[in-house]
Structure formats: C-alpha cells, structure tokens
Structure 1
Amino acid sequence: MMKIKLLLLFLIFGKVFFHAQPNNIEKNISEHRTYEELEKEFYGSRIGEGNSKSIADSYLKKAKSEKNISHIAEGYVMLHFEENLPNALKYLDSLQHITQNSKENTYPARTYLLRGNLYFRNDNLQSALNNYILGLKYAKEKGNKRQIAMAHISIAYLNNYIGKHAETAKVLRHYAYDADYMNEVEKNSLKLNLADAYIEINKMDSAYVLIQNGLQDSKKNKDVYRYYQNLGLLGYYHLHSKNYQKAIDGLLECEKYFFTNNSGSKRNQHYTLLYLGKSYVGLQEKEKAVDFFRKIDSMVLKTNYIYPELRDVYTYLIDYYKENGDKEKQLYYVDRFLKVDQVLDTQFRYISRELPRRYDTPELQQEKENITNELTKRKSLFYIVLSLLLISHLLFINVYFKYKKSEKNYKKIAQDLIQSVNENRVGKNSNSEFNKETLSESLPIENTVNSEDRTSRTISEDIAQTILRELEIFENKDQFLSKGITLGSLAKKIKTNSKYLSEIINTYKGKNFATYLNDLRIDYAISRLANDRKFRSYKIPFIAEELGYNNEQAFTLAFKKRTGTPLSIYLKEIENMSSK
C-alpha cells in the first residue's frame, strides 16, 4: 500500500505536482518576469526539483522591493516548501505575522493548514492535527468552502493513518464525487487515496476499479509519478488478495522507479519495500523477505522515518533470527523494536492499542536482558530459555487471573445496573419519565447531606426552592445533554448567580456542579443504552456527542467513574442479556 497521504495536502495551497518526469528548467530568473509567470514555474515543479528555490527567492525579492504585502506572503509560502522543519516554521511564522490584518478569506486558515501539512510531512501527527483543527475553525468563520474541504480531507488522512479507514473512505468519497469545487487533479488524488481506504475495509472490487481507472488515466496523460503510485497500490491490492507473485511483479517495478533519481518520497520507498517483504512472506520465501525488511531497517536508521507497520518488520526479523539461533542479531532487532515502539507510543497513541501481543514491551525488555546476560556471561542457552518460559508463564497466569477477576466484577456491576433499569421499566408506564432515584440506588454515592448542613446555608428558603424547581425542570427535560453547559451558563439560564447555584447544588445534591452534571448524563446514558437498541448501535463518539461530551474519552472516563464498570462491558452485557 502506498501511503501517499501527502499528495492532496499540498493541493490545498496550489502546490500542484505534475507527477511526470521532471522538466529541465533552464530559464534565467529575472526581476522583470511577472508574479504569474514565477508562480506557474514554481508550482509546476515538484519540491526540490529544478531551480524552484531560486524562483521562490526571486519572487520574494521582487515582492519586497515593491512592498506588495500579498505577494510577500506568497513568497513565504513558496520558500517554506523548500526548507527543513525549523526554517520552514520560521517562514510560516513570518506569513502569519504579515497576514494578521489581511482581509482575504484565506487567512488565517491557510497558515494553520500549511503548518499542519509541514508537521505531517515531518511525522508529528499530534501537531498536524492541532493545526488542521485550527485551520478548519478559521475556514468556517470565513466561509471558505475549499479550505473547509481540505481541512476535512487532511484530518481524514490522519484518521486513515490511525486505522479509522471507514471514516476516511466516507470523507474522500464525498469530496471526490459530490464537491463541484474540486478540480480534476484533486479528484484523481482523492480517488487514489479512496482506493487505499477501500482495500483496508475490504471493498476490493471498488478499490480495483479506481486503481485501474487511475492507471489508464495516468498513462493517457503521461503522468509517470501518478502511474507508479497506482501501480504500487495495485501491488498492495494483490498482496491483500494473497496474489503474492502479481504483487511482487508490480512492486519490483515501483522499487526501480522510486529508488531512481529520488523519484519517490520516503513513504513510497518504505512501503514499496514493506509490501515486497510481506509478499515474499506470503510465498514462504523467508530469506528474500528478510532482505527487504533489513533494507527497511537501514532506511529507518538513516531517515528516522517511523510508522506503525514497522512493528511487523521487526517482529518478523526477531522470529527469523530466533529460529536460526542467531542470538546477536535477535538481540539487535529486539533493541531496534523497543526504540521504534517507544516512538510509536509517543506519536501514535491510538495505534499503540494494536501492539502485537507476542512482543509487548515488558516481555521484550525481559527477553533482551536475559539474552544480553547470555552473550556476556556465556551461560547455557537451555537454562536461559527455560527461565524465560517459566517467568513468562507465571506472569501470564498472574495477569490472566487478575484480568478475569476484574472482568467478573465489572460484569456483575453491569448486570446489576441493567437489572435496575429493567425493573424500573417494568414498574412504570411506557410514556413516563425515567426514575433516576431508582437507578441511583445501584450507583456509588459520593456525598451525603444532612439537615444540619442545609440549615447552615446563607440563602433564603424561597430562593433555594426557586432554584431547586429550576433544577428539577433542567433534569426532567434532559437539558443537561446540551454541550458546553457551565455553572455560569446554567445560573444565567435560571436567573440566579453562580455562587447561589453552586451552594444549592453542593447542599441539596451533595456534590459539586461538575459531578452533578456528569451524574445526570451518565444516569441518562445507562437507561437509554439499555432501552434503546438503535442508540447503542451508534459509534461511541456519536453517543458521547449526543450526551453533551466533547469527546469519546471524556464520556468513557465519566461512565466508569460513575458506574464502576467500563462502558464496553456494560454494552456487551446488555447484548448478552437481550439475547437470552
């Protein structure tokens, strides 16, 4: 699979790459050339090819001499494409400064989207996402449809990178076919990436049609670079379909092209080797697979380009040398795996959930320590392996029983909650409100309030009762599901002040405002998930948003804190009990 996620990102700002063999640019850069001529020549080349740096320098020099703010800004954009991360960020900082008072509807969104692309190219996905979100925010404020589209597409590529392929496909399909403001070059790029996402979700027929169309179109337009991108994607298609020899035939052509005259990006080069290696694994040709995987390791050492599939590379190499009794190389690749794993845990936190079970970090650390001791002290291999197996077995048993015990407790809590909801449903009319008091009996109580606490308050009884009546309306009408509720906004809504409202909630509800709001939402979720099959079929992020949470993590943490059991187990027990 060619991870060609950067192709369309550049198009956000007009850095169009005609992916053919580079043209020989022999024109002299002259200050008398127009901005349009310079832009056409610069954006008609790929990064680092020809004399694009000189073009950008001349463009900026011309703009500064004429004190043309708009073109100075464009000069900074051009130059940032030609620089490494620190220098490129300086140019984008200059761009942000000079456009801070711009009336154009492309700023400041353009700056944030460019910065997001820059971080993406340098594998800082967290910073890339943060800038894409800011770019989307400002694009929406200015009503710039193209920038909104490009921000959505960029975030979709990040989703694809962390495994959310179905969501990626949905976004790419929309902009490839339903957005009339996307040009043909952009649509072709979208379709190429859409084919990649289709393969990941096993829509193989749809992927194949897109790839074949891409190959034919690129041949027709003599677009060599795009042709090899589609050919590489076809290789991944065959690999996914277990047609290993067909995959190898196409990928070997891609290897020759992408490694000749810097024709391909490091992503293209890495993934070409990766899927050649995996294809040879499929053919049981281990030595050839190892050759390609070792090449990948050498490239990683040179470029420091790290991506999730490297785990597959290193675990295969570790197993290979373990089978062949080469402890020194096994130790070397264990060490390489651990270093890569540490980076992935930092930059790819979502992907870290897919860490291979056989080579999780604690086990590898232990194995590395024992193998090192073996090599340095020249002890018997038999006793080391025996010790490792015994320790691993004991650890596994210990972890297994701890997990089972916790799981059993979680299931019991979930079952009690479901039973409480079901009993409450049986004991009331179908159109009546959910009885939160009944459910609260099965949930942990964080605070209790006695009559003496209530008499110590400084608010008059009339005001207290008025606030309590408003809170009752707030609860009964499920107004707590609205996103962005704060103590201040609720106080304003019920025409009181934050201090009074806080004191009433603490005194009469026995909890602070944040806990009060969370408890209402989670109690509602407990009931609705148990009673509404359609609602619980939704994805967790959507459910979280429906309940007023900003993100999935906030919802799941609040659910476990309130109920004492994880949301996943609660949902699973609902389905189990429903099927009985």
Structure 2
Amino acid sequence: MNFLPYTLFIILLCGFSLGTAQESQQSGDTLSGKSYDELNTLFYKLLPKDTLKAKVIADAYIAKGRAEKDSVQMAKGYYYYAADFADTIGSLYADTIITLTRNSHDKSYPAVGYLLKGAWAYRKDDYKNALSHYITASEYARERDNLIQRNHVRLMIAALKSRGGDHRGALAMSKEYLNAFEYNPKYKEAYLNDPKYGDVYLENIRIVIYNIAINHLQLMELDSSRKYFGRGIRESLKYADTVQYYRLLSSSGSMEYYSKNYMAALDSLDKALPHLTDLHRIAMAHYYKGQSFRALGSDKEARSMLLKSDSIAGSINYKFPELRLAYEYLAEQYKKEQKLDSQLVFIDKMLDLDKELLEVRSLDGEISRRYDTPNLLRQKEALIRDMEQRHRRNRLYKGILLSGMFLLGTGLIYYYLRQRRYRLRYNELLSGNVLNETPLTVKGESADPGVPEAIFAEIIKGLSAFEQKKRFTSPEITLYDLAQDLGTNTTYLSRVINTSRGVNFSQYLHGLRIDHIVHRLRTEERLRAYSIQALAEEAGYNTSQSFTRAFYRQTGIYPSYFIKKLTADLKNSAF
C-alpha cells in the first residue's frame, strides 16, 4: 500500500524551479540566447500540455551545456528526459547523468542520477536495485552535505522497509522524520529559506503523515491509523492537494475494511477510484472493494472486483501479499463450481506469489546490512571521536578508559557465556531434549479419580485428534472452546491435560505450538525466510512478542537465534 509520489521530489532535488515567471526575451529570440533559468521556466510551462516543444527546450538546454563544456548543465538537460519522457528508458538517461557528473563536485550531482535510477527501480517493484541506488545516492549526498537529498533517501528507505515487511522499522523512521521536519530548525531552514523548496517541505510532511497511517494499518493499529489518515486528509484539503487527498481516501477505505466498516470502506473506495492514476493503487482499491463485498455476502460483486484487481496487478507485474487471500477465495469458488482449470490457474498464482513474496521479505535483511548497520557504525564513529576529544580535556580520561575496558570485557564475557548457553540449548533442541515430548496417557482405566473413566478416554481421544489436525495453531483457541468442541467441561478437560501431560492448558498449548514451529523450521526452507511476526501467526500467536516469549520459555533461546543458527548449519552441511 505504500507507494510514494517521488517525481516531485526528484524534480526539485536537482535544483530546478517550477516557477511560472514571464519570459524575459522577445518571442523572436532564439533558444540559444536564453539563460538556463529561462529555459527551465519554459520547459515546465510547456509540460504537460506540449511535450514536443518541451523536448525542444530540453535539447536546447543540453546543447547550451555542451557548447559551454559544462557537464553538470548537460546532465540537468538529460534529467528532463530521465524524469519526464522516459517510462521505459529513464534508467539509461540516468546513467548518462551519472557518467557526465561522476567527477564533478556539484552539491546535487551525480546523486540525482542515482536517485532517478532508484525511483525507476522502485516504480518497477525492483526493490533490491532501488535500495542499491538509494544507498549510493545517500553516500554522495552525505559527502556533499546535501540535506534535502539525504532526507529523500531516508523517506525511500522507510518505504522499502515497509515493502520488505518491516513495518515497525518503517514506522519508527517515518515518525522520526516527521518530528525532525516539524520541530528541527535545521530542516525548516533548508527548505523554507529557498523558494524552490517551500512547497516540497509541506509536501514532505503530508507524504510522511500518509506513510505513518499506512504502517499503523499494516500493523493493525487501527486507532492510530485512523488518527493519521484524518490528519493527512485535513492537511490535503487545507493545501488543495487533490492527488494526495484521493490517495488517502482510498487507503482509508482499506482501513475501514479492517475495522469491519464495510459500507464505509466501499464509500471511500468508490469516491477515490475515479481520481486514482497509479495502477498499483487502483489494483489495491479493487482488492479491498472485493473483500468488502465478500464480507457483506455479495459473492458476485466480490468475485468481479477481485478478478479485476488481479488483472490490473498482473498487467504491471505487481505482487502484494493481500492477493493471496483473493487467490484462495477465487480458487475455492471455482472448486465449488467444478471449474477445475480455473481453480488450477489460481493455485499456480498462489505458488508464484509465495515465491515472489519470499524474495521481497529478504529485502529487510539487505536494508539492515547495507543501510542501517553502516549508519549505526557512522554514529558509533562520531560518538567515539567526540569521546576522544572529551577525554583529552578530562583529567579522568584514564579512569574512564579503564572503566570502559572493564565494561567491554564484562560485556564480552557475558556475551560469550550467553552464546555458549544458547549453543547448548540449540543442540539440545535439535536432539529433542528440550521440548515436552511426553505422550498422551492412554489407559484402560481413568488416570484421574476425579474424571469418569469413559469421559477420560473420550477426552484423550479428542486431544489426539486436536493435535493431529494442528488445531492448536488457531490463535482463538481457549480452554473453553476446546472443551466445547470435545463435548465436555473445562474442569474435566483441565484435569485430563494435567494428568496426562503434567502441565496446565496454557503450558500444553505453548508446548504444542513451539514444538510444531520448530519441526517446520527444521523441515521447511521457505519458513526460515519468514519474519518473526509471520512465524508467530503460523504457530498460532497474534503478536511476535508473545511468540518470542513462549519460544524462549519453552526452549531457552530466541527464535531469531535458532533460525540464524539452523540456516547456517544447514548451509555448511550442504558443502
């Protein structure tokens, strides 16, 4: 759901203005006699009404730069093509910009070329290449102290985190970004003191508000999502930003769907759809219309909307996780109608989608390795430099240094002991000595005098079926629900579990879930690429926190450690 309107950013990042100043030359003057600013003004006055004449202006800009042997000005001319005329070859024009300005010391170039390549890759859903280009742009922007470009990269990294499934990380970055924009004077000064960037400052704020709303929605924090959607809509109306308004309205429709306000969802989506131009958003809007109709029991309309969503998404090779639910529904519908060929089509679509999403989930690790970790290392290096300067002025330098060494040594010892303990627990887990493997008691007589023999045997039989069918992976299962399903009461069920398993119901449920997910992690390679939240849902937990706590209590190690170690061991054993 998180697609940024990045074109406006790129236009202004390279130092161009969208002003509408009057032409300063007489109409008979040749283009070669005009200044760069005048050519720039003419270009944006002609777009989007007359692209042919606009291209003539772009060519004149490039020719002027070539005549003056000014590679940066030539690059700005090629920028017009890269940003405004190049749906399919924009990246090639960006390469030209990079080649022309690679050795320049301009504040904005060659970073603009990499920002363009990142934008085109992102638009094509090529997120790994987008990440590479944005990181390169970030390095140039940091070297040239270009705050505006660095901000743009941060915004896009947050978007990539969201695409990779790290919605919590994206949310934290976006809120940090919004707080800096609203309250840090450095940011206001960088934008508001330059007329070229005043509108971008406000546009940035509206986009970040939108992204925060989206990430709260992805995390199912519906009250927070509603709060930021409301704020974004008010800001868009205040500044007459109709493009952002309808994007917010469309996405708020999906929020209403998750809030089970299905009629409100349809109303918002119907109002927004005629004004959406981005096919990604249009596909999503039809998806949530379909799911809303489905929730209202209108299967005919639901099928029509979901098929339309799939068709639009397929036309641009757009894969989004929610599509899987649509494919499951459509496959089931065709199964009921005995249309086996159509059912097979959507089963294949599910398999393709699973494979694609597995690759996207790996993006989060790439971001951590290539962006987050280097940033932390730079912060660490800056902190160390600051500490060294203070230490030189401080008589207690030696004491502080020794204390630091002691703490470091203690930390290393602690880390070593903890890792050693984790390795031992990991080996025990693989050998089956950690999880509770006690089989259910099956006796001819009741093992609990408080439960009649026949009832005890029936409950034991029901528990066996409960385990075999993996019903413990449902997050809604409770002692009461299970007792109802087994045709008994909670007292009898609790006593039978205590007698036959030696644990209470909660411990029994956690043991089954963790045993189940450990077994699947050992045998299913694709599961090891899942996020902790996704694994939690597979095991039957609503949140990653509750899953992590249960896994640690049951095994003595954290799931992230187990997956990392298991993956490494399997990889080494393969060689």
Same fold (TM over 0.5): yes
Counterpart AA for 1:138 = Y
1:307 aligns with 2:320: yes
Corresponding residue number in structure 2 for 1:39: 40
Residues 139, 478 of structure 1: CA spacing in aligned structure 2 closer, same or farther, 3 A cutoff?
farther
| Match 1:332 to one of 340, 345, 348 | 345
Corresponding residue number in structure 2 for 1:575: 553
Corresponding residue number in structure 2 for 1:241: 259
Counterpart AA for 1:307 = F
Corresponding residue number in structure 2 for 1:168: 170
Corresponding residue number in structure 2 for 1:209: 227
Contact 1:85 1:122 in 2 (8 A): no
Residues 54, 189 of structure 1: CA spacing in aligned structure 2 closer, same or farther, 3 A cutoff?
farther
In the TM superposition, residue 118 of structure 1 has moved relative to its aligned partner by 1.5
In the TM superposition, residue 290 of structure 1 has moved relative to its aligned partner by 0.9
Contact 1:529 1:571 in 2 (8 A): no
Corresponding residue number in structure 2 for 1:119: 121
Counterpart AA for 1:293 = L
Contact 2:115 2:133 in 1 (8 A): yes
1:278 aligns with 2:291: yes
Instruction: Return 5+ residue gaps in structure 2 as ranges.
Output: 15-26, 182-186, 192-200, 366-404, 425-527, 533-545, 558-575
Corresponding residue number in structure 1 for 2:505: none
1:437-491, Cα deviation, whole Å (9 max, x unpaired): xxxxxxxxxxxxxxxxxxxxxxxxxxxxxxxxxxxxx99954997xxxxxxxxxx
Corresponding residue number in structure 2 for 1:56: 58
Instruction: Return 5+ residue gaps in structure 1 as ranges.
Output: 17-26, 259-263, 353-473, 482-518, 531-551, 557-567
RMSD: 4.0
Corresponding residue number in structure 2 for 1:158: 160
1:525 aligns with 2:419: yes
- SS of the equivalent of 1:250 reads helix
1:554-575, Cα deviation, whole Å (9 max, x unpaired): xx9xxxxxxxxxxx99985643
Contact 2:158 2:170 in 1 (8 A): yes
In the TM superposition, residue 140 of structure 1 has moved relative to its aligned partner by 2.5
Residues 76, 126 of structure 1: CA spacing in aligned structure 2 closer, same or farther, 3 A cutoff?
same
Contact 1:31 1:58 in 2 (8 A): yes
Corresponding residue number in structure 1 for 2:331: 318
Residues 323, 216 of structure 1: CA spacing in aligned structure 2 closer, same or farther, 3 A cutoff?
same
Counterpart AA for 1:119 = A
Contact 1:308 1:351 in 2 (8 A): no
Which structure is richer in relative contact order (CA contacts within 8 A, separation 6 or more)? 1
| Match 1:191 to one of 196, 199, 209 | 209
Number of matched residues? 370
Residues 296, 55 of structure 1: CA spacing in aligned structure 2 closer, same or farther, 3 A cutoff?
farther
In the TM superposition, residue 233 of structure 1 has moved relative to its aligned partner by 2.1
Identity of aligned residues (%): 25
- SS of the equivalent of 1:105 reads coil
Corresponding residue number in structure 1 for 2:244: 226
1:340-351 paired onto structure 2 within 5 Å: 340-349=353-362
In the TM superposition, residue 201 of structure 1 has moved relative to its aligned partner by 2.6
| Match 2:281 to one of 263, 268, 283 | 268
Residues 64, 257 of structure 1: CA spacing in aligned structure 2 closer, same or farther, 3 A cutoff?
same
Residues 84, 245 of structure 1: CA spacing in aligned structure 2 closer, same or farther, 3 A cutoff?
same
**304-313 vs 189-198, which moves further:** 304-313
1:138-149 paired onto structure 2 within 5 Å: 138-149=140-151
Corresponding residue number in structure 1 for 2:395: none
In the TM superposition, residue 9 of structure 1 has moved relative to its aligned partner by 6.6
- SS of the equivalent of 1:284 reads coil
Counterpart AA for 2:292 = S
Corresponding residue number in structure 2 for 1:6: 4
Residues 221, 127 of structure 1: CA spacing in aligned structure 2 closer, same or farther, 3 A cutoff?
same
- SS of the equivalent of 1:106 reads coil
1:160-187, Cα deviation, whole Å (9 max, x unpaired): 1122112111111222232324511111
**Distance in 2 separating the partners of 1:297 and 1:37:** 46
Structure-1-length-normalised TM-score: 0.56
